[in-house]
Amino acid sequence: MNVKFLPDRSRYPDMTTSQLRDGYLITDLFVPGEIRLNYMDLERAVVGSAVPTETTLKLATSKELAAAYFAERRELGVINIGAEGTVTVGDQDFLLQNRDSLYVGQGSEQVGFSSRSPAEPAQFYLLSYPAHQAYPTRLVTKAEANRVELGSKKGANQRTIFQSICPGVTESCQLVMGFTELAEGCVWNTMPPHTHLRRSEVYMYFDLAADARVFHLMGDPAETRSLVIQDRQAVFSPSWSIHCGAGTSNYTFIWGMGGENQEFTDMDGVQMAELL
């Protein structure tokens, strides 16, 4: 478990690019044959990945969680961005195709990850938050997710939002999770941006070519910064920070939130004139 302590709002204005990247960016995900986990002090979120190849990977606890098993006091969201794979929760097997999601409820003692083909493995993205109540583990396919169409070609932001772990689709304690696909020729994921003081958020960008990049905008609306992000890297957004970006081509990103409420539309909009 890699532990990250996020810089606060007071330190942020004086940080260099390198310090911002060290503080907010996660670059070591999706290593074949490994589970990678990052414990964030803010909201006590765990951001990680599992890429099983020859053998099943088992999700273990760690001293940072002070728990008998990983999900003893946690809930977990899983989205597969690779080939077909299976998540085993207790004695149940859940088959996930590309872009299928799985909600794993609190109290699930054993969680394992396997791939149908080691040569073309599943690639599971993981996001976990503390939980106060046990809700049923549930598979949500891409077709079953709540689908929202936003933006336009003219605005270079035509996109489809898939809400897979959220009220009305899957019950959870505080985790809200899904992904957004940008149409070909579109690059902006959100503009104008917003903040939401009641929860923090994590973006994980993927479907980017090796030479493509996303310029992720973050920070106080009156003092913005940018992080240049490659394929399959994640960025943590504190509640006070905007979170939006533009790519050198279209892409997909997984978004996940945890905090005080679960209302997807609960956000404080930032007008263009406020951005500096």
User: Which of 76-80, 138-142, 180-184, 269-273 is the least confident region?
Assistant: 269-273
| pLDDT band, very low/low/confident/very high, at 228 (cuts 50, 70, 90) | very high
Q: What is the pLDDT of residue 262?
A: 84
In the DSSP assignment, the letter for residue 47 is E
| pLDDT band, very low/low/confident/very high, at 223 (cuts 50, 70, 90) | very high
Q: What is the pLDDT of residue 208?
A: 97
Q: What is the pLDDT of residue 217?
A: 97
Mean pLDDT, all residues of the chain: 96
Domains of the chain by residue range: 15-274
Mean pLDDT of 126-145: 97
Mean pLDDT of 45-53: 98
Tokens (6 digits) for 41? 């002090």
Residue 83: strand, helix, or coil: coil
CATH architecture group of domain 15-274: Sandwich (2.60)
pLDDT digits (tens, 9 = 90+) for 253-270: 999 999 887 888 888 899
Mean pLDDT of 222-237: 97
Q: What is the pLDDT of residue 268?
A: 87
**Single-letter residue type at 178:** G
- Picking from 164, 129, 165, 124, the residue whose alpha carbon sits closest to that of residue 29 is 124
Q: What is the pLDDT of residue 215?
A: 98
For residues 28 and 161, what is the distance between their CA atoms, to the nearest angstrom? 26
User: For residue 192, is the peptide bond before it cis, meaning its omega torsion is within 30 degrees of 0?
Assistant: yes
